[in-house]
Amino acid sequence: MSNQKRNKNVIIAQAVLWVLGGLGLAIGFYLLLTTVSVMKLGGLAIWLIAALILHDGLLSPILFGINFLARGTLLRVSWVNLAIVQIGVIAGGVISLLVLPEIWAKRDGPANNSTLPLDYVLNLSGVWLAIAVITSLILCVLHARHKQNPALTVGESKHVAAEVKHARKDSNTIKFVSKVLSSIAVIIRLLRGFFR
Amino acid sequence: MHKVFQLARLSLALPSRHPRLAVAIGRLLGLAFTICFLTGLYSHFIQHPLPWMFFPDRPVWLYRVSQGLHVTAGLACIPLLLGKLYTVFPLLFKWPPFKGGFVTVIERASITLFVSSSLVQLGIGVLDIYQWYIFPFNFLQVHYALAYIIIASLAIHIAFKLPIITRWWRKKDSVDDSGDLLPVEEGELTLEDSPTARGLTGIVYRWIDKQAPQAPQKVSRRTVLGGIGAGAAVIFLTTSGQTIPALDKLNILGPRKIGVGPQKLSVNKTARSAGVAAKAYDPNWLLTLKHGKKRMSLTLSELEAMPQYTVSLPIACVEGWSQDAVWTGIRFSDIAKLLGAEDNDFMVQSLQKGGYGRTKLEKNFVNNDQTLIALKLNGDRLSLDHGYPARLIAPARPGVLQTKWLSSLEVL
């Protein structure tokens, strides 16, 4: 497709999106104004603003902080190992974000006895444990592969040299993982104590 | 201090903030939001139909799958949205925020609206599946209205970013032979204004930029994608067993569990919260049938004496859980024949007042042989919480419209 034709298509698509967007906004705001009382709209406005503040003012800086601390460890742990631990921590963080309100809701008293029937603190702890075990297993496998053949490093051909250099940092990785695990154990203990 | 800034720069991990990554995550998020929007509309209109609307009564799993998808896709949006926001994180520090005139104001207003309404939408969606109504507004009306606002502001956002999206849409246009992302070239549209940030933040950025060793690009990119994927996978595996029986054993974090509840089936509205216990247990209970001026009444014994049929149908809720159950009772079509009203819609009235106590049953559901006035559940008489003495059960219909504690059926 020629650039000119592509640009024309982009402009047409933009126009369609603008129209759809305008129409959708009109419907959305009309629904809000006609079906939600003024008092409740005020409540919604507070939540909309609070969501931004929570995200930009709390979640992002926390994420930044965690990242910051993780990168600090970077000086002792190789990139790939750190990435694997980070993926595990992100997965655990996301599921915790979902389950913490669930734990709170259960503590508040479920709507009936078929709602929120499980021990979510225990089960969330189990998920963290499973993530830690899987992450550690992957790290162990990588560690073993490193020892056997330093050139085999999860397809990062460009960074093989750097990886070889970082190989000696693997023992630090294990220390790092054990630190992460013990911190998780402390958090779980605190949470269980709190929600008892 | 230098080290601190160096780490700060690394923490903002530039390689993972490439427009290609924003596009890759963005289209997954767009897909998930679209699925949520369409399945949400389906559920909304089956409960509040416009006069010309028709809803199929087959296949029996239609509503179950639609709402399972709605909640699963909605939960997957959590890591996707957070990941997407992460890829554009430095834009938070752009200063001044509105430089660039009216168009920039509109652009930033639309994205602010999108971000905050998406966060609230996902937040109240999650609280709704826990049935934990701690927010100071009605769930139904706000969730419905925000759905349009989100899709609309997303459309406007896409319109603004379309040149970047088309530039980085295809992998072959985005990576070099070794799989590394191509740099954003001079004059090429990037995610942010150049330089990235102005003012104090910009000065700090540029200063620490000079110091920063960067993560290997692929590692950094894969960490973000891997984190989002792993987050979505953990959510899916540990919760979706509340609607997918094959994953029941893994369902350790879902708000519902298959087989947990009275008669091994979950309940949303209990008899107590509906305020119907006394009336439902009244030994003089009657099911009233109305057709114009004609009135008939059937006692529970008379209902039990009519031909009984057994069907396996799920209870499927808008909160994303669904569970199979075996129901026994009278075919609704037999009642319609009794009244000579096979071609009519019915109004189904519960002992429950208000809420979903009064629902319309369209004629295709009336004539479906699987639509029953159920008296038994899993072989035993209905428990009070499941609608004793009689309830409606029909295929492809939301749980809230499977009216419990029946009081009357009226031909429309």
pLDDT tens figures, B165-217? 998 898 888 888 877 788 776 555 554 434 455 555 556 555 555 544 555 66
In this structure, what token pair is assigned to residue B270? Answer: 């209990």
Closest C-alpha to A163, from A181, A145, A177: A145
Q: Backbone phi, then psi, for B295, in 5-degree steps?
A: -130, 140
Query: Who among B130, B152, B231 is closest to A101 (CB)?
Result: B130
Locate all alpha helices (DSSP H) within B130-268, ordered by sequence. 139-167, 199-211, 217-239
Residue of chain B nearest A12, judged by CA positions: B159
Asked if A49 reaches chain B (Cβ–Cβ under 8 Å), the answer is yes
B222 vs B1, more confident: B222
Confidence (pLDDT) at B392 = 98
Q: Which of B89, B158, B255 sits opposite A102 (nearest CB)?
A: B255
| Average model confidence (pLDDT) across chain B | 88
What is the pLDDT at residue A158?
45
Mean pLDDT of all residues in B371-396: 97
CB contact under 8 A, A90 and B228: yes
Lowest mean pLDDT among A166-175, B22-31, B176-185: A166-175
Find out whether B152 and B49 touch, Cβ atoms under 8 Å.
no
Describe the crossing of helices A160-167 and A120-148 by its angle, rounded to 10 degrees.
100
Residue B96 to residues B187, B192, B193, B195, Cα–Cα distance (Å): 21, 13, 11, 12
Name the minimum distance, in Å, from the CA of A62 to any CA of chain B.
Answer: 12
Structure tokens at A11: 């402009």
Q: Tell me whether residue B267 is exposed, middle or buried, using C-beta atoms within 10 angstroms of its C-beta: 0 to 12, 13 to 18, 19 or more.
A: buried
Residues of A within 8 A of B50 (CB-CB) are none
Q: Which of residues 108-137 of B touch A (CB under 8 A)?
A: 110, 112, 115-117, 119-120, 123-124, 126-127, 130-132, 135-137
Digit-coded pLDDT (tens) for B41-98:
999 999 999 999 999 999 999 999 999 999 999 999 999 998 888 777 656 555 566 6
pLDDT digits (tens, 9 = 90+) for B316-363: 999 999 999 999 999 999 999 999 999 999 999 999 998 899 999 999
Which whole number is the average pLDDT over B264-275?
Answer: 94
| Contact criterion met (CB < 8 Å) for B131 and A48 | no
Higher pLDDT among residues A130 and A78, named by residue: A130
For an interface test with B, which of A18, A36, A39, A47 has the most B Cβ atoms less than 10 Å from its Cβ? A47
Candidates B358, B15, B169; CA nearest to A79 is: B15
> Is the Cα torsion angle B99, B103, B104, B106 positive or negative in sign?
positive
pLDDT at res. B290: 95
- B237 closest CA partner among B226, B227, B248: B248
Question: What mean pLDDT do residues B370-393 have?
Answer: 97
Please report the number of interchain residue pairs, chain A to chain B, with beta-carbon separation below 8 angstroms: 240
CB-nearest to B92 from A56, A126, A156 is: A56
Nearest chain A residue to B214, by CA: A79
CA distance B100 to B193: 10
Q: State whether residue B79 sits within 8 Å of chain A by CB.
A: yes
Which of A115, A89, A113, A88 lies closest to A102 in space, CA to CA? Answer: A115
| Contact between B365 and B60 (Cβ < 8 Å) | no
**Which amino acid appears at position B245 of this protein?**
P
Q: Does the beta-carbon distance from A101 to B180 stay under 8 Å?
A: no
> Looking at chain A from residue 102 to 161, which residues have their Cβ under 8 Å from any Cβ of chain B?
102, 104-105, 108, 110-118, 120, 123-124, 126-127, 131, 156-159
Minimal Cα–Cα distance from A14 to chain B, Å? Answer: 5
How far apart are alpha carbons A37 and A35 in whole angstroms?
Answer: 7
Cβ atoms within 10 Å of B107's Cβ, excluding its own: 17
Residues of A in contact with B120 (CB under 8 A): 44, 47-48, 51
Average pLDDT over residues A63-91: 74
Provide the 10 A C-beta neighbour count for residue A161: 12
Nearest CA distance, B107 vs chain A (angstrom): 12
pLDDT given for residue A53 in this prediction: 86
CB B409 within 8 A of CB B334: no
Question: B interface mutation test: which of A82, A114, A121 has the most B CBs within 10 A?
Answer: A114
Output the pLDDT for position B15.
52
Query: What does the pLDDT read at residue A77?
Result: 66
Residue B107 has pLDDT above 50, yes or no: yes
Cα dihedral B338→B344→B350→B355 (10° resolution): 180
CA-based nearest distance B310→chain A, Å: 25
Q: Which residue has the higher pLDDT, B240 or B93?
A: B240
Judge: A48–B79 Cβ closer than 8 Å, yes or no.
Answer: no
Give mean pLDDT, residues B398-411.
Answer: 96
CB–CB contact B131 A32 (8 Å): no
Tokens coding A134:
């899987």
The reported pTM is 0.86
Confidence bin at A171 (pLDDT 50/70/90): low
Give the residue-averaged pLDDT of A51-73.
73
User: A20 and B220: CB-CB below 8 Å?
Assistant: no
Interface touch B238/A127, C-beta < 8 Å:
yes
Q: Say whether A54 and B230 touch across the interface (CB within 8 A).
A: no
Q: Are the beta carbons of A98 and B132 separated by less than 8 Å?
A: no
Burial of B320-354, coded b for 16+ CB within 10 Å and e otherwise, reads bbbbbbebbbbbbbebbeebebeebebebbbbbee
A176 to A142, B9, B13, B61, B210: CA distances (angstroms): 15, 22, 21, 48, 29
Average pLDDT for B289-310: 95
In 3-state terms, chain B is what percent helix, strand and coil (to 5)? Answer: 50, 15, 35
pLDDT-derived band at A152 (thresholds 50, 70, 90) equals very low
Q: Which residues of B touch A35 (CB under 8 A)?
A: 138, 141, 144-145
User: Looking at CA atoms only, how far is residue B327 from chain A in angstroms?
Assistant: 19
Give the nearest chain A residue to B86 (CA atoms): A60
Mark out the alpha helices in A36-169 (DSSP H runs). Answer: 38-52, 60-74, 79-108, 120-148, 160-167
- B13 pLDDT exceeds 90? no
Q: Is B218 on the interface with A (CB under 8 A)?
A: yes
